[in-house]
Structure 1
C-alpha cells in the first residue's frame, strides 16, 4: 500500500514537472467574442439601449480588427438598432455598480459585416507570449512579472478581452530567467525569444521595453515576432499602464491586418487553391480535417478531389490571397507544412504554389 502511494506521488510529481517544462501558447478559438459587459445606471430601457449601442460597437471592433470602426459613418445607423442583434441580456451588480451582460448573434453580425464590406477577423486567433522589461527613474531596469505589477497585468488582460487577442505571460521562474535574461530582453534579441519560446511554443511573441522618461511621460519600443517576420513599433503615454495598453492595441492591429478577411482584396488568387494532406489514416482524421477546412472563414468552399491511401486532395475557394491562407493554416498545430522542393517542373518552370500541379502540402498529425 505504501509502495503504491509512493508511486502515485512520484507520478503526480512527474506530471507537474513536465507540465511546467512545456506550456504551449497556441492559437485559440475565442468563445466569448460576441459577449460584452457594460456598466449602466439603471435597468431602464433607455439605459439598456445606450449600453447596447456601445456594446455592439465593441463587438464590431473585435470581429473586424479595426480599432477605429466606431468612426465609420456607415456603422452608425446599425449601432442605433443594437437590439436587433441581441441574443440575450442579464444584469449583475458588484460594489453598488449595476452591469449589463450582452450576448450578440454571431451570424447576424457576420451578415452585417459582409453587407457593409468590412473585414472579418475569424475567431481562431494566434496566442501571443508577452515579455516586458521596464526602466524606472527610481529602481532602474527589471523584468516585469505578474506578481510585481498585478494592476498592469490586469489591464493588459482586459485589453486582450476587448480586442479578442489571447495573451499569455511567462512564469519567470529560473528556466525563463536563464533563457531570457534582462539584457537580451532589453535588446529585444530574436535569438533569445526563440530560445525562451521553446518552452511555450507561442504563435507570436511580443517583446516590450518600457522606459519612464519623466514623472508623467513614458515611452516604449515593441517587437512583434510572428510567422517568420518581425514588426517594430513604439508607443507613448502618461503612465506605465497607458503605454503598455497602447502597445498591445497596436499589436492587435497588426495581427488583424494579417488575418482579417477583406472582401474584394486585390491580391486574392483567382480560382481554386489546391491542398494535399497526408497522414489521413482514418475516417475520423478525414472528417476532422474536412470539417476544419470547410469551417475556415477564409474558405468559401472545400471540394474533395481524391483520396489515395493516407492522402487527400482538395480544391479550396478562398476569400483571401495565398499568403494569408497559408498564415491561417499555420495556426492549426495539427497541420505540418511540407516544403515545395518536389514541385513539378513544367517547360522548365516551377508550377505556381497552390496550383493543381504544385498544391500546398501538409501532414495531418
Structure 2
C-alpha cells in the first residue's frame, strides 16, 4: 500500500509542477470584473473599461484611494493591454419600484500583469487568494440579542459582505450550530472577550477573525464596536464605527478592516518570484492530503508557486517561490492551525 501511495504521490508531483502555476488555479475569476454598460457597442465598452480596471485595483490592494495613484493612471492609459477578454450578459435589476433589464460587461483582466505593475511601483497587494475573515457579529436590535449566522442576522452579514468584497476581503459567517452555540455566547462578543472567540474560531481556519457588537446608539444611529484578531502574531485591534444606516456603518467597518488587515497580510511582491523557501510536511498519507497541503501552502502570504520536490514515506518536501521575506512565510506557517511544528518541519493535521 505504501509503495502504491508513493507512486501516486510521485505522479501527482509531476502533474503539480505542470499545473500549479499561480496559486489556486480555480480562482481565475478573481481577475474578472462586471460593470453596467449602456449597450454592446465598442464605444460604450471603452467608456467602462477604466471603471472596471479601477474596481480591480481596489480589490487587489484593499485601498479605495489607489485609483488616484500614478500607477493607476498609467494602467488606465493602456487598459486594453491588460484585458484578456470580455463578455456581455443581461440581468434583471429591482430598484424597489420596478424590475428592469440591465446589460453588464464582464471584463477578464490579466491579474498577473496588474499585480506586477503594482509591485514595480511599490504598492502592497493582497495574497493571490483573497484573505478570509471569520465574522462573529453580535447584534442588539429591537429588544433582541443574538449572534448573526445560520438563520439569524442575514441582512447584517450581507451588508458587511457587500462592503468588504470590493475591497478584496472574503467574509465568512459562522455556522452557529450546536458546537458554536456551546462554545460562544452573545456576552462573549458584547464584552469583547478575545480568548473564547479565538478558541471557537479554530475550527474554521480563517486568515483573521473579526468581532463586532452592533447596537442602536443615541439618535437611532447604528454603532458597531469592532475587534480584529489577525493572524501572523499581530496584536488585537479595536475601533468603532457609527452611521445613520446599516449599510453605511458596515461600509465604514469594512474600510477599517481593510486598513488593519493590510498591516499583516498585504505585501509588495517580487514580480519575478526569484526567492525560494523549502518546507517539509509529514502526515501526507493520501492524494487528497497531498492536494490539501499544496492548496494550503499556496494560500500563505507571499507564496506565488508551490512545487513538490521530494517524497519520503509520508513526508513531502516542498519548494515555495516567494515574493516576500522568508521570515513572513515562517510566521505564517507557525500560525497555521493545520500545520503542527515538528522541529525539522511540520505535520499535517487531518
Please say whether Structure 1 and Structure 2 have the same fold, judged by a TM-score greater than 0.5. Answer: yes
Tell me whether 1:234 sits opposite 2:240 in the alignment.
yes
Tell me whether 1:193 sits opposite 2:197 in the alignment.
yes
- Hey, what's the Cα distance between the residues in 2 that align with 1:246 and 1:323? 32
Q: Give the number of the structure with larger relative contact order, counting CA–CA contacts within 8 Å between residues 6 or more apart.
A: 2
The answer (yes or no) to whether the contact 2:31–2:111 under 8 Å persists in 1 is yes
- Hey, what's the Cα distance between the residues in 2 that align with 1:331 and 1:218? 34
Aligned residue for 2:107, secondary structure, equals: strand
Hey, what does 1:17 align to over in structure 2?
none
The answer (yes or no) to whether the contact 2:224–2:249 under 8 Å persists in 1 is yes
Deviations 1:124-180 (A, max 9, x none): 2443221112334x5364434564544333232323432232222124345433322
Aligned residue for 2:255, secondary structure, equals: helix
Per the TM alignment, residue 198 of structure 1 is displaced from its structure 2 partner at its CA by 5.0
Cα 1:285–1:77 change in 2 (3 A) is same
Q: Which has the larger radius of gyration?
A: 1
Unaligned stretches of 5+ residues in structure 1: 1-26, 265-269, 341-358
Hey, what does 2:340 align to over in structure 1?
337
- Hey, what's the Cα distance between the residues in 1 that align with 2:254 and 2:198? 20
Deviations 1:87-131 (A, max 9, x none): 223232312322222221223223322333322322224432211
Aligned residue for 2:71, secondary structure, equals: coil
Aligned residue pairs, count? 313
Aligned residue for 1:224, secondary structure, equals: strand
Structure having the larger proportion of residues in helix = 2
Aligned residue for 1:363, secondary structure, equals: strand
Range moving further from structure 2, 182-191 or 163-172: 163-172
Cα 1:246–1:188 change in 2 (3 A) is same
Per the TM alignment, residue 281 of structure 1 is displaced from its structure 2 partner at its CA by 6.2
Cα 1:152–1:83 change in 2 (3 A) is farther
* Aligned alpha-carbon RMSD (Å): 3.9
- Hey, what's the Cα distance between the residues in 2 that align with 1:225 and 1:290? 26
Q: Give the TM-score taking structure 2 as reference length.
A: 0.72
Write out aligned runs for 1:1-365 (5 A): 30-86=27-83, 87-94=85-92, 95-136=100-141, 138-139=142-143, 141-145=145-149, 147-197=151-201, 199-215=203-219, 217-227=221-231, 228-229=233-234, 230-263=236-269, 273-279=277-283, 298-299=302-303, 311=315, 318-329=322-333, 336-338=339-341, 340=343, 361-364=345-348
Per the TM alignment, residue 206 of structure 1 is displaced from its structure 2 partner at its CA by 1.1
- Hey, what's the Cα distance between the residues in 1 that align with 2:27 and 2:262? 14
Cα 1:100–1:215 change in 2 (3 A) is farther
- Hey, what's the Cα distance between the residues in 2 that align with 1:301 and 1:178? 40
Unaligned stretches of 5+ residues in structure 2: 1-23, 93-99
Per the TM alignment, residue 192 of structure 1 is displaced from its structure 2 partner at its CA by 2.4
Cα 1:234–1:291 change in 2 (3 A) is closer
Per the TM alignment, residue 321 of structure 1 is displaced from its structure 2 partner at its CA by 2.6
Deviations 1:322-341 (A, max 9, x none): 442134446877x623155x
